[in-house]
Amino acid sequence: MPQRTPLWHGEWLFRLRSSGQILLRESTHPLTMVNYALGALLWSIALVPEAIATILVVSLNLCITAIQLGRAQATLARIQQTYQAPIAVWRDAHVQERVPAALVVGDILMLRPGDRIPSQVSVLESAGMLIDTAAQTGESEPMSVSRGMQIEPGCTVRAGAAWVQTTAPIPMQATRPVTEVRRQGVQSAQLIRILHGAACGAGIIALITIGWGSLQGATWAQYITALTVVCGLIPNALVVYAAVAHARTALPLIAHGVVVNTPSVVERMADVDVVCFDKTGTLTTNALTLQQCVPLAVAEQEFLDILGAYAAADGAGNQSSVTIARAIPRTPMAVRTSTAFDSRQKWSSISTATQTYVLGAPDVLAPSLAEEWQHVRTIDATLPDGRVLLLLAVPPNWASERAGAIPIGAVILREELRPGVHAALAYLQSRNVRVVVLSGDDARAVSRVATAVGITGGQRIHATALDAGPLTHSDVLRDVSVIGRMKPAHKADVIRAFQQQGQRVAFVGDGFNDLDALRSADVAIAFAAAHSVVRDSADIVILGDDMHALTIIQHSSDQVARTLQAIGELVLARVTLSAVVWLGTMALGLPTWSPIDSTLIALLGVALPSLVIVAIPHRMTSLGSHQRVIVRVAMSGICLVGGWWLWVVAYGWGDIHWLTGAVICFLWGHLLVALIRRTVVVR
């Protein structure tokens, strides 16, 4: 038995490594390098206290943010590893569920549709397994798997099943989610604009300062000192503050049964205009129950025997087959060939020595019925609500001719609505978020479920209505709320069409056929029962069965959006006020700031208040648009400079540190106003 060494060697080591990587990355940022260069220049001209203050404050700011962000990232990584999608492993004479990090060389795994292969494996036995190798080879067509093949890690199982044995250690990337890079949130984009605007403003002020200094006959030392102060206007740690806010908002969600694979996604949820849901396993639970069996061409007992034997022989074992096999236990058929269920074709098949059987969706299979059974084409509309499957006995040439099939019987599977789905959808709709159901099931069945969960408006259409032309300029999606019989590519096309119309889209799904849609959406949400590759591709994983977690995610997204907005307003106030004070004191011939004053303002007036904002996001509120903040702070800065000028004229002296203290107090007052306003609004 091999020695099992866990991949996770300790959270402290990971935290230290993450903090070191963040510190190295941020310390080599161009703006940081400029500050260090100015500190060195100050040292070279014998302004040692100013040089030490500049370098020390920049380094302290970097260390604080690196430690905060490294700790948050390490905690998130531990949580993600703990709640990985498990894989079926043969141990101790039975099949167990184990996370990829717990696997070792020599383990025997059972791979099923939707599993992501965690390590290099050797195939022991295959039951029609097809794998997606796009991550390694770029090939879009699935590859058939046979006994003895070696498969590289990262491939995903598209159909069928197989027993495999791991032949290499589990790589690090196999234990971490594979997430896509998506669009920034609105507030993060605003912070980037503030950073760019501050950099441009600092450049203009630097040119004005150099021009003014040349008129006043400034020395080289005075130029360096002034430029150091002006460069201090650029909030180079602004992006790091946003990363810390994202991580700190994602951590508390685990207490509500939500794991965040991509911390910044929580903010993006606040900007979502449309939420698209899959039906099966999303609006409904993954648990199915056999409600009714309706024999057609054979007697009831014969139908049950054939149906049970078919389900028992289905090696791929999708949810429907597993439910039938449990409800009707029979000896498996002697399989000669089989076709695993595929969400695109909507059926599976098994061939014995004497007969071929097909099990699938009635509206897909009904056109191939023999002439005398054409009246069965609409059987799914006459049966009770639920998922309807049709079992056919087909001739040998059915795959090419699609004719002559005999309906042995129909099966009705009952789906339970997911807990909390009514409240979650009502909450989204109360926020003017559009709710759309995209499902591969028949449009009538999907429409019934949509009505049951409270989606009452909008059109209910079949996916064939999407083939009329390009969706981007189509009116089909304008008022649609339910689309049925969708192929996986259809779902992704609809999401991209919404995005091209300027809307931000979240998708909630759980099946392998939802993978393209999850990767296309701005926010991808999956449930814990989803396939491993689906969970790994999702930004957010809901561990429980309760859809109420969506409202918790939405509340958290509002909090982080308020946090980033408050940080942006604080930084904008600091840049505006400092610029006005600097230009005003320079124009009036008053004493100007030294690098020590600039670094004190950056540390005490911005860095510490930002940490307070991150710590209490639920108490923050906006003080208005950025234009209003700039105008209000600029007027305050003019008044502050005017009052300072009158003080200097009246008393003949003025210590510039008092002006520095006044600016720091103003910035803390700005924060307190936001807190007080939030309290008043809540009351």
Domain extent listing, the chain: 11-78+181-249+556-682, 105-169, 258-284+417-548, 287-414
Residue 382: band (very low, low, confident or very high) from pLDDT cuts 50, 70, 90: low
Higher pLDDT, 400 or 3: 400
% of residues, the chain, pLDDT over 90: 12
What's the pLDDT tens digit per position in 641-679? 898 888 888 777 767 888 889 999 998 988 888 777 654
> Topology of domain 258-284+417-548, per CATH?
Rossmann fold (3.40.50)
Residue 8, pLDDT score: 42
> Element (H or E) spanning 59, and its range?
helix 48-82
Residue 1, pLDDT score: 37
Backbone angles phi, psi at 482, to 5 degrees: -140, 130
Query: Model's pTM, two decimal places?
Result: 0.72
Q: Which of 56-65, 464-473, 617-626 has the highest mean pLDDT?
A: 56-65
Domain 287-414 has CATH 3.90.76.10: no
Task: Supply 19's token pair.
Answer: 């903090």
pLDDT of residue 525 exceeding 80: yes
pLDDT of residue 419 exceeding 70: yes
Token look-up 């809901």 returns 542
Query: What top-level class would CATH report for the domain 105-169?
Result: mainly beta
Higher pLDDT, 199 or 618: 199
What's the pLDDT tens digit per position in 314-349? 866 677 888 898 899 999 998 888 887 776 778 888
What sign for the dihedral angle of Cα 69, 72, 78, 81?
negative
pLDDT of residue 297 exceeding 70: yes
What's the pLDDT tens digit per position in 147-157? 888 888 878 78
pLDDT of residue 133 exceeding 60: yes
Radius of gyration of the chain (CA): 32
Distance CA 254, CA 286 (A): 22
Distance CA 461, CA 463 (A): 7
Q: Which of 162-166, 168-172, 242-246, 285-289 has the highest mean pLDDT?
A: 162-166
Q: Which of 52-56, 164-168, 301-305 has the highest mean pLDDT?
A: 301-305
- The pLDDT of 93-120, averaged and rounded, is 81
- The pLDDT of 577-591, averaged and rounded, is 89
Residue 458, pLDDT score: 79
CA distance to 310, 512, 562, 565, per residue, from 623 (Å): 66, 45, 11, 9
- Residue 398 is which amino acid? W
pLDDT of residue 275 exceeding 90: yes
482 torsion bin: left (phi>0), alpha (psi -120 to 50), beta (else):
beta
- The pLDDT of 106-117, averaged and rounded, is 82
Answer yes or no: same fold for 105-169 and 258-284+417-548. no
Residue 74, pLDDT score: 65
Backbone angles phi, psi at 233, to 5 degrees: -70, -20
Lowest mean pLDDT among 95-99, 273-277, 289-293, 572-576: 95-99
The mean predicted confidence, pLDDT, of the chain is 80
Residue 621: band (very low, low, confident or very high) from pLDDT cuts 50, 70, 90: low
CA 244 to chain centre: 17
pLDDT of residue 305 exceeding 90: yes
Residue 583: band (very low, low, confident or very high) from pLDDT cuts 50, 70, 90: very high
Q: Which of 66-75, 553-562, 649-658 has the highest mean pLDDT?
A: 553-562
